[in-house]
Structure 1
Amino acid sequence: MTTQLPPGLLTLADHEARAAQAMDPAAWAYIAGGAGDELTLRANAEAWPALTLWPRVLQPLAGGHTRVRLAGRELAHPILLAPWAHQRLAHPDGEVASALAAAAQGAGYVLATQSSVPLETVARAVLGEPGRGPLWFQLYWQADRGFNLALAERARAAGFEALVLTVDAPVSGVRDRERRAGFRLPPGMGSAHLQGAPAAPPAPGTYCAGLPAHAPSWDDVAWLQAQTPLPLWLKGVLHPQDARQAAALGVAGLIVSNHGGRTLDTAVATATALPRVRAAVGDALPLVVDGGIRRGTDVLKAIALGANAVMVGRPAAWGLANAGALGVAHVIRLLRDELEMAMALTGCRSLTEATPALLTN
């Protein structure tokens, strides 16, 4: 395992530049690329800095902190690691390294269905870590309800504390960069949790090769809630009407996400969707937002727009590629340090003071 950081990594952008050089080009295309012309991928990252802060001065700052409450717990800060697949593409330690880094930094961690490491291995590595954040399992809906329920039960039995159902990918996006690079998983690397998954039964017609016929529906969400005691979050909600419907079902929370720009190109940026989703649900649901978070100021703006916490995906991949668990921990620490400085410089002693009034537009 890497024991020191490479020199010159002072920002998340530094991590990105180094990871781009360090990784196999095809694997980099898979991790870094988006759908279509990558307009949404860019829009996510451009929307946060386009929002401008309106700082207050001479505010009382003694006793300031970054603590937040999420899912019934007090967390040291509002940063979680988003689920992303096949992490051994970036480092041999894969998801275990990322989970350990998150635990060491008090960050929440969401393990992907398409993990290259079994969920039980990850849980054993981090559940005993003091000060760790929440440990959640992301569920990609499979065509067989029984298989989904069995996977959810595996996660519960291993100690995972919530399910995160991805709802914005009934089919894969048109990922041109990935296809041009000819990306294929290396021999011996696969999805640890999908071995033995039943094949989807044939669907009539040729619409997207029949895949949407087996995509999850609102009825499936209600069914899953009734079958598992784990709190259920929905990841990939952008539209206020969908947010209201989710709230009516009583889900545990929503993750405002466009899949990092990897599914539908020209979909709305998450910074734009977030305040509309918050307005739709009021204070009824906790919201987490991902997509383009690259600076501590982005985290502060997300909280001001109504998020309870944020998730980062690609930056964790960069850190993992650069220095394994240490690199991921460094990415989290950079964001948290920058968040603290942004809070102090805008007059916020705690994140409860980060309201829409903090933004000029």
Structure 2
Amino acid sequence: MNGGPNVSGPAAGADSTQARAGVAFALGAFVFWGLAPLYFKAVVALPPLEVLAHRVLWSVLLLAALLIALGRLRAVLLQLSSPGVLPRLLASTALISMNWLVFIWAVGQERVLEISLGYYINPLVNVLLGLLVLRERLSPAAVVAVLLAAAGVANLAWQTDGLPWVSLVLAVSFGLYGLVRKLTPLGPIDGLLMETALVAPLAIGFLLWTAWTGVGAISGGAIASGDLSLLLLLMAAGPVTAIPLIWYAAGARRLRYTTIGFLQYLAPTCHFLLAVLLFGEPFDTAQLVTFACIWTAVAVFTGDSLTRSRRAAAVRGSGS
């Protein structure tokens, strides 16, 4: 009998180290995203559009500086000349800007629970987009998960006389954003730099207008009175945006897609805990039923993904 490959030597140790590093990076990214409402609560006194403009401005400056330091900025800019890249980037820019604006607004309106619901739904929206746009086939378990999620949304709409539009906008906009980015040959950091650069002229123009008219934080708020803490807080929007993305990219390179898929539920779980335990948002029976449907859908979907991944690994192992 031929022996299998030796996996107990240095290569196995290196793989284990890479996996542990990948888990650490991914955990950091998803927990960071999950705690993001704390940051936007700190700037809740400002209009959401102004916060969004600052987020774009400081993100593009930070990402450009990072890519210049890595010597990659010119290579990223050259990719804009590739066929179809610019139109897709314009589409992804519009989608992520909408997503960010609704997220910021929802935090200010004490609707973090709806944010949580949206990001629990998002992976199931991705499944539907894969079916409708990419013609991917759904497993029976995925169909059950999508139907459970739909039942949860329908329950909330019926109990509250309206669709949970914040949740749906966040889930669908981020799902479409992921689909467009999947079809765009740019890495996560490179793509975000291009997206923020495309919308930066609008953001800078808006901030200049608010400063000129005296309605913005820079001209009429704490900054004008000599308190720089607000400016520093707004500048932190750059790291708040870029750091988890860099960690996510580092984790995704080291981990299987199914592992990333499982860890991604940490972010909406953090949102949920913040909303209920820290922000004191009401959590009634209608929301409990809806979240129970969504959590069951997530469990079915994740279990099916793990089972299919193990089967695929077993097939690959038997064929080697």
| TM-score (normalizing by structure 1) | 0.21
**Bigger RCO of structures 1 and 2 (CA < 8 A, at least 6 apart):** 2
Return the structure number with greater strand share: 1
| TM-score (normalizing by structure 2) | 0.24
